[in-house]
Structure 1
Amino acid sequence: MQVIRAVGREAAAKKYDLLSAMMAHALAGDKHRQRLVLRLMVLITARYNWQRDELTVGQREVARLWCVDERTVKRDMARFRTLGWVEVKQQGARGRVSVLGLNLDRILLDTKQEWQNIGPDFVERLAGQDATVSDNVVPLHRPAPVPPAGQGVWAEASQRLLAEDRVLYESWFSSMTDAGIDSGCLTLVAPTRFHANYVQTHLSERLRTAVRRCDGTILRVRVISP
């Protein structure tokens, strides 16, 4: 997947690509998804600083822009954070608003299914080798990509990870086992120390997003080795 960095000579085209992907994703969903995505697109076009990856705007201003009350703003911004589309870069304090950033890679990953609705040229332009995992790094174990049986947060999150990227799931997530949840932290066991360290270092955000979409009460995901 092509990683979008909206800077340089092709910045304008990259911005249009991102917004096009978001629009296609919204139109393929119900009215609730359409409204939610539209609200974020408005913030991106009106207030997002592309070069610094910063969205600095107060709830009152967002409420005015969206024509809603501040409770709705608070609720929807929490949904964006749970989706992993919006991240808090600096928590607001002493009358200052929080500095937010966009996880452009996560947005593209979630909208990938609808790229084909735009056209093959769009898919070709954005498709490619996923930059999340280096070609030079391979895990020590490559079990068959079968999600864990039964119910539970990890079983559901595994299904999501498999649907997002089969190769990535087979390489890094399929061999991890559920060690339980304690105090809002899900612990997973990887087959080796190297495997655990790599997932924690390079894939923790994707892992945490998948888990939180299944259970929003989980705040952390810890990966350990035997």
Structure 2
Amino acid sequence: MQIVKPVGKEAASRKYDLLSALSVHGLGADPGTQRRVLRLISLITARYNWQRDELCVGQREIARMWSVDERTVKREMARLRALGWLVQKTRGARGRISTYGLDLVQILEDTRPAWGLVGEDFVARLGPAEGVAETNVVPMRPVSAPKGQGVWAGAQALLAAEQPGLYGAWLSGLTEVEISGGKVVLAAGSSFQQSYIATHCKQVLTAALRRVDPALQGVEIIC
């Protein structure tokens, strides 16, 4: 499954696809899930900053939008984090509001069973469903590894071939800074990307890099 962030030339269609996937998933679920999905959609459409990949809105404002109290907001935001749909980027403190990012990979993976309710063209845009041959799928945007020499270039080729969804969504934008002390230092484009990759992708990166150079001890992600 090729996951591309909703920015750039095709941003509008990708946003609609994400909202469509959430909508059909929620409509076919239990009332509690329906309500939770609708609440998330309201935050995405009203307050999500796609350029910064960030949701920054206070609990009081969310409570007003959802017509609930702030205790309900805390509970629902915790559930969305537990689902993996929202990833906390910064924790709120006195005078500061918590900021969140959307985990598009997790959202689309969880909503995948409902894609067919929209139509075959929708399934084809987002990725292969159960029982659909890979050759019949039209990816949203193929992402291939750049040709080059070196450890990171070799690891990119492996990742793009073996885990194209993960590579296209998160890893293709990493750039090599240096190899120092047995570690490859890679730079991410944002603090959110750095945090997500360090939390969820470090083992995959390390394994790919060590297949290229077994002497390497690990990888460090910086912003």
With the shorter chain as reference, the TM-score category is 0.5 to 0.7
CA distance in 2, matches of 1:125, 1:137: 20
Which residue in 2 is equivalent to 1:83? 83
The corresponding residue for 1:171 is none
Measured after TM superposition, the shift of residue 7 of structure 1 is 0.8
Once residues 26 and 98 of structure 2 are traced to their aligned partners in structure 1, the CA distance between those partners, rounded to angstroms, is 26
Task: State the one-letter code of the partner of 1:26.
Answer: G
Query: Among residues 145, 155, 159, which one is paired with 1:134 in the alignment?
Result: 159
Runs (5+) with no aligned partner, structure 2: 129-133, 144-157, 164-199, 206-223
Alignment partners' CA distance in 2, 1:65 and 1:201: 40
Match for residue 201 of structure 1 among 200, 203, 207: 203
Where does the alignment leave 5 or more consecutive residues of structure 1 unmatched?
A: 139-197, 204-226
Distance in structure 2 (CA, Å) of the matches to 1:202 and 1:114: 29
Deviation at 1:94, TM superposition (A): 2.3
- Cα offset for 1:91? 1.1
**Alpha-carbon distance between aligned partners in 2 of 1:3 and 1:23, rounded to the nearest angstrom:** 18
Q: Deviations over 1:98-155 (max 9, x none)?
A: 1111101110000001000000000001115798x825559xxxxxxxxxxxxxxxxx
Q: How does 1:45-60 map to 2 (within 5 A)?
A: 45-60=45-60
| Aligned length in residues | 143
* 1:24 equivalent in structure 2: 24
Q: 1:4: Cα distance to partner?
A: 2.9
Partner of residue 119, structure 2: 119
2:41 maps to 1:41: yes
**What is residue 63 of structure 2 aligned with on the other side?**
63
Aligned 1:185-224 pairs, distance under 5 A: 200-202=202-204
Q: Report the secondary structure of 1:21's partner residue.
A: helix
Match of 2:108 in 1: 108
> Identity of paired residues, percent?
57
Amino acid at match of 1:202: V
- 1:4 maps to what in 2? 4
Q: Provide the C-alpha distance between the structure 1 equivalents of 2:162 and 2:66, rounded to a whole number of angstroms.
A: 45
> Aligned to 2:96, what secondary structure does the other structure show?
coil
Using the TM superposition, give the Cα deviation of residue 66 of structure 1 relative to its aligned residue in structure 2, in angstroms.
0.1
Secondary structure (helix, strand or coil) at the match of 1:68 reads coil
Please tell me the root mean square deviation across aligned C-alpha atoms, in Å. 2.3
Runs of 4 or more consecutive aligned structure 1 residues displaced over 3 Å after TM superposition: 128-131, 135-138
Q: What CA deviation, in whole Å up to 9, does each residue of 1:190-216 have, x standing for no partner?
A: xxxxxxxx975239xxxxxxxxxxxxx
Quote the offset at 1:51 in angstroms.
1.1
Other-structure match for 1:94: 94
TM-score, reference length from structure 2: 0.60
SS of aligned partner of 2:2: coil
Distance 2:162 2:34 in 1: 39
Give the structure 2 partner of residue 14 of structure 1: 14
Aligned mates of 1:108, 1:65 — CA distance in 2: 25
Q: For each residue in 1:59-112, what CA deviation from the matched residue of structure 2 results, as whole angstroms up to 9, or x when unmatched?
A: 000000000000000000000000000011111122210111110111000000
User: Aligned partners of 1:56 and 1:90: how far apart in 2?
Assistant: 10
User: 1:22, 1:111 within 8 Å by CA — same for their partners in 2?
Assistant: yes
Q: TM-score, normalised by structure 1?
A: 0.59
Helix, strand or coil at the partner of 1:134: helix
Amino acid corresponding to residue 83 of structure 2 in structure 1: L
